Copies of this chain bind each other. A is one copy, B any other.
Amino acid sequence: MKLSITAQLDYTIRDEADVLLQIEAASDDPAQRVIAGKMRVATGSELHPVPVETGIGRRTWTRGAGPFQVEYAASVEVERSVRDIADLGTTPYAELPGEAVPYIWPSRYCQSDQFESFVAQQFGALTGGAKILAMADWIETHLDYVPGASNAQTGATDSFISRQGICRDYAHLLISFARAAGIPARMVSAYAWDLEPQDFHAVTEVWLDGAWHLVDATGLAPMEGMVPIISGRDATDIAFMTIFGRADFNAQSVRVAKLD
């Protein structure tokens, strides 16, 4: 599937501030090819990309003062074989490679250690991919998708109690459940085709049978049209933009369209 992606961020920075952007389609995800991608700040601020040391994607530093508009446009060829993960097995801890280990622990928003009893009780009879799919189903069934119900402090334990949230919260819960069951899990920001309303999306990657596999606990967009941006332990690592100073929001839009 060939997709056209545009993202526009429009803020006003009071004084002056450093800014971290994480909005480019990942060029190191084997399931997608970025044919053309261009990010620019309207004021012409220089962009300094830096690599992420783990996972996929990259980060870009820039600076702003006053009006701050960012535009990103890309066309991406996605060939995500959406295989059913139900038959994939859990890798024993002692066989996990270095790249999977950071994703077995609890993290800031994913307090997986607190969910061990619940996960054993609820999903103990299943293993591997079947377990992950049951977890995603449970989350989709028991959570209401309520924009505004969560904020930057909300973690998986909060969402488990409030039973409300957005894509970020669904992902945090699935990551927490997976890790509590000994399955490495990380968070991935993504552009998503056919997501309504169009916005940045957040999904989950789980490590099964020696590879990462994408899962979307919200079920809001088809897996074939997912375009990962960057991965991390949880929302901490993958915010699309961080302004290190005071700023006001003006407008923001994301558009993902099918080209063929």
Contact = CB atoms under 8 A, between A and B. Distances in A.
A19 interface: yes
B114 A59 contact: no
Interface string A132-149: 000000000010100001
Contact of A96 (B54, B61, B160, B161): B61
A157 B163 contact: no
B18 A105 contact: no
Contact of A161 (B102, B107, B114): B114
Nearest to A51: B98
Given A106-B236, A121-B144, A94 B157 contact: no
Nearest to A46: B94
A105 B161 contact: no
B107 A107 contact: yes
A260 interface: no
Contacts of A117: 144, 149, 162-164
Contacts of A92: 18
Interface string A43-67: 0000010111110001101110000
Interface string A146-159: 00010000000110
Given A118-B162, A121-B144, A236 B96 contact: no
Nearest to A157: B161
Interface string A215-256: 000000000000000000000110000001000000000000
8 contacts: A102-B237, A107-B107, A107-B108, A114-B162, A118-B162, A157-B161, A160-B161, A182-B244
Interface of A: 18-20, 48, 50-54, 58-59, 61-63, 92-99, 101-102, 105-108, 114-115, 117-118, 121, 142, 144, 149, 157-158, 160-164, 182, 236-237, 244
